[in-house]
Structure 1
Amino acid sequence: MLSLTDETFAAHIANADRPVLVDFWATWCPPCRMLEPVLAQIAAEYAADLEVVKVDVDNCPKTAANARVMAMPTLNLYVNGEVVHQIVGARPKAALLRELEPHLGLLIR
């Protein structure tokens, strides 16, 4: 998964050709580490329709503040450069996909 920085975040989201799921995480966050393999699976399975990227909140405080991240992990789904859904806290893969599906239409198999 691509890691974005304060310097690259805005341009990457604005120029995305598909929805982008942003994982706001921290190295010291156990639920973040639990979620990492789940997000890797989602990224691989839905690569044609969804991009999954990471933002380390400790290294990117400006981006985290602008995204209104108050707890980790926080997942923001961006469609056409705008946040359409936010998920706070770790979830199993099926639960994440259920939450994302209404925003992605028939993407979820």
Structure 2
Amino acid sequence: MNADSSQNQSKMATRVRNFLIAIAAITLSVAIFLGLQTQAPATSLTQMAEESVPLEVALSNGKPTLVEFYANWCTSCQAMAADLGELKQAYAEPLNFVMLNVDNTKWLPEMTRYRVDGIPHFVFLDNQGETVAQTIGEQPKSVMAANLDALIAGLPLPHAQTTGVASSVSPTRSPLQASQVEPRSHGTPIE
């Protein structure tokens, strides 16, 4: 009977172990599922754009300005959204933050003027609306903060003309051509 008892205990231990593994797997799966559901960016580009200063106001209110050319589909723009949201809160008083969506043909003249061919594309304007510097692509928060500090102080930007990871953009379409484009095609004309 000792052999049968030992064998029964071994089967019971195996069942308990398998049950615990199943419970752990279910718990882990639920945790991963819930984690993925809540990983939406804390700062949405659309929301930031809606809250940004209109370009016309920024060019006339006597404050230095940071203009960001962006698109909602741009992964580099999305990657910087949280840092830019924090910088916007920290620098809201002395600085204008303007966001221009490259998918909106309204901004085609500005895209041409500032030679936007990659996004995010940042244009630093002094308090008179004149271009001080431009940067393209993802920038570390510390680099952006140093540039903003210098812009506000009227000093040369320490990290001017830098380039990081960017999404390419082709601003060569005329407004008439752009109206013949499907909204989700990101600039590919309908044929």
Q: TM-score category by the smaller chain?
A: 0.7 to 0.9
- Secondary structure of 1:90's partner? coil
Q: Which has the larger radius of gyration?
A: 2
**Is contact 1:22–1:55 with CA below 8 Å preserved after alignment?**
yes
Q: Number of residues paired by the alignment?
A: 101
Deviation larger for 92-101 or 72-81: 92-101
- How far apart in 2 are the matches of 1:47 and 1:105? 15
The alpha-carbon deviation at position 51 of structure 1 amounts to: 1.4
Aligned to 1:61: 108
Aligned to 2:90: 45
- Secondary structure of 1:76's partner? strand
Cα deviation 1:28-75 (Å, max 9, x = unaligned): 210011111111111110111111110001102222112211110011
Counterpart of 2:134 in structure 1: which amino acid?
Answer: Q
Larger RCO: 1 or 2 (CA < 8 Å, sep 6+): 1
Mapping of residues 11-90 of structure 1, within 5 Å: 11-59=56-104, 60-79=107-126, 80-90=128-138
- Would you tell me which structure has more helix in proportion to its own residues? 2
Show structure 1 runs of 5+ residues with no match: none
Counterpart of 1:62 in structure 2: which amino acid?
Answer: P
Counterpart of 2:111 in structure 1: which amino acid?
Answer: A
- How far apart in 1 are the matches of 2:116 and 2:83? 20
Pairing 1:96–2:141 present: no
Identity of aligned residues (%): 27
TM superposition score normalised by structure 2: 0.48
TM superposition score normalised by structure 1: 0.80
**Is contact 2:53–2:97 with CA below 8 Å preserved after alignment?**
no
- Would you tell me which structure has more strand in proportion to its own residues? 1
Show structure 2 runs of 5+ residues with no match: 1-50, 155-191
